[in-house]
Amino acid sequence: MINASGFKVWPAEVEAMLYAHPDIQEACVISTREAYRGESVKAVVVLKAPSRGKTSPEDIIGWAKANMAAYKYPRVVEFVAELPKTGTGKVFWRKLQEMEDART
């Protein structure tokens, strides 16, 4: 759970909405530190092959802003070639969160 300015954001709910975007192949939502809000929503995204190089993070943020509640949409979008997976094939979100915590 992400606590963004006192609002509770469930990553799975944001991910489910992001999968509705036509350019997104995979997505993982984690928290990032922000001075004003404490925590903010960050989406780590793998784009579909035809969309790579054509879709910008601002495109994803704008789409999410139009389709999600104001406190839920990702403020930061990072594109990656692939998401880390566990041995069972699930997205290893904890590894992404640890890498983000080390950066901030």
CATH number where 47 lies: 3.30.300.30
Q: What is the mean pLDDT of residues 15-36?
A: 96
What pLDDT score was predicted for residue 47? Answer: 98
Q: Tell me the pTM.
A: 0.92
Q: Are 60 and 44 in contact (CB under 8 A)?
A: no
Q: Give yes or no for residue 36 having a pLDDT over 90.
A: no
- 99: containing domain: 2-103
Domain count, the chain: 1
Residues 23, 46, 49, 88, CA torsion sign:
negative
Q: Give yes or no for residue 35 having a pLDDT over 90.
A: no
What pLDDT score was predicted for residue 92? Answer: 97
Summarised one tens digit per residue, pLDDT across range 66-104 is 999 999 999 999 999 999 999 999 999 999 999 999 997
